[in-house]
């Protein structure tokens, strides 16, 4: 039994290492990349191991699992002035109500993913990144092999494709959100992270068709 426990622990560690490497290196492929399997709102599906340490860093930047806030996470990564300017730009582009719902849906998505993961026995490790380094890592993680940032790709890497799909279904079923909020969450996230990439000097990142 002791040998079996050690083997299980090593398997978990190997999965975390593989997932973290995938976050940092866009060139790493997954079994889905050679197929036509695509995300619900665009981009390829990533079905490798999730990078839980980076996910933990995002949750920590947002104030922790119990009080996670996307606005807080963005501010801690990019600074208040940059976030204020970006929210103003997105508000002009999409409308105030849509941007408010985007932030609300993003908060729901993170909290729901953590709830699902916790129920499955997954525990987040200690965070390893913060500030600009975390923002750059998230952009790299969500940049598909064709150079386009896709929030679907990022979420697959953050929590696994299976949990990401469950979160989308939960958003669709939530009476306070729904399918339009789900769509707006994805398209505004694509635009916002593209804008962040440009602000960070990552000018080779392309804007997704769904934006």
- In a structure prediction context, what are the per-residue pLDDT tens digits for the chain, which is 211 residues long? 433 343 333 333 334 333 444 454 443 333 334 444 877 887 899 988 888 999 999 999 999 998 999 999 999 999 999 999 999 999 999 999 999 999 999 999 999 999 999 998 888 899 999 999 999 999 999 999 999 999 999 999 999 999 999 999 999 999 999 999 999 999 999 999 999 999 999 999 999 999 9
pLDDT in tens, 78-112: 999 999 999 999 999 999 999 999 999 999 999 99
Helix/strand/coil for 38 = strand
Give the count of beta carbons closer than 10 Å to the beta carbon of residue 1. 5
The two three-digit tokens of residue 208, written as one number: 């997704």
Helix/strand/coil for 193 = helix
Exposure of 175 in the CB half-sphere (CA atoms within 13 A)? 0
What is 157-169 written as a DSSP string?
Answer: HHH-HHHHHHHHH
Percent of the chain at pLDDT > 70 equals: 83
Q: Is the pTM of this model over 0.85?
A: no
Asked if 19 and 49 count as a contact pair (C-beta separation under 8 A), the reply is: yes
């Amino acid at each position: 039994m002791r040998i079996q426990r050690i083997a299980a622990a090593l398997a978990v560690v190997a999965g975390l290492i593989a997932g973290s490497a995938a976050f940092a290196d866009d060139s790493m492929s997954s079994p889905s990349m050679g197929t036509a399997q695509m995300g619900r709102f665009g981009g390829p599906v990533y079905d490798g191991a999730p990078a839980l340490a980076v996910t933990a860093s995002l949750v920590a930047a947002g104030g922790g699992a119990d009080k996670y806030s996307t606005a807080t996470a963005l501010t801690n990564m990019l600074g208040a002035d940059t976030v204020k300017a970006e929210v103003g730009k997105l508000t002009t582009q999409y409308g105030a109500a849509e941007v408010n719902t985007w932030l609300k849906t993003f908060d729901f998505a993170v909290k729901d993913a953590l709830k699902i993961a916790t129920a499955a026995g997954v525990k987040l490790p200690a965070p390893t990144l913060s500030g600009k380094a975390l923002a750059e890592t998230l952009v790299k993680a969500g940049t598909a092999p064709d150079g386009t940032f896709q929030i679907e790709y990022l979420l697959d890497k953050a929590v696994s494709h299976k949990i990401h799909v469950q979160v989308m279904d939960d958003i669709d079923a939530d009476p306070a959100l729904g399918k339009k909020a789900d769509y707006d969450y994805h398209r505004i996230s694509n635009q916002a992270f593209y804008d962040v990439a440009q602000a960070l000097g990552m000018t080779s990142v392309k804007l997704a068709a769904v934006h």
